[in-house]
Amino acid sequence: MKKIFLGLLLSFAFLLANIDFNTASKQELMAIKGIGEKKAQAVIDYRKSNKINKIEDLKKIRGFGDKLVFKIKNSKEYNSK
């Protein structure tokens, strides 16, 4: 029951605001189409020593290429405002 509630809560949060890659949890990152567990962890590891100022900064992370960043940039999860 907690997992269902958490999932609904996270889904609702995405409807209200853009995701902040500097503070998003692993679960929030994984809710974005194209980002699985490994890529979410890569973002978390990267942001320990770097700040993500713009979506294009994701290209500096292994596994994030032009196509994926473009998809994220145009996804409903990222552009929900």
Domains of the chain, by residue range, sit at 2-73
User: Could you tell me which CATH class the domain 2-73 is placed in?
Assistant: mainly alpha
Is the CB of residue 52 less than 8 Å from the CB of residue 14? no
User: What pLDDT does 80 receive?
Assistant: 54
Residue that has been written with the tokens 């990267």 in this structure:
46
Tell me which H or E stretch contains 37. helix 37-46
* pLDDT one-digit tens code per residue, 28-80: 999 898 999 999 999 999 999 999 999 999 999 999 999 999 999 888 767 65
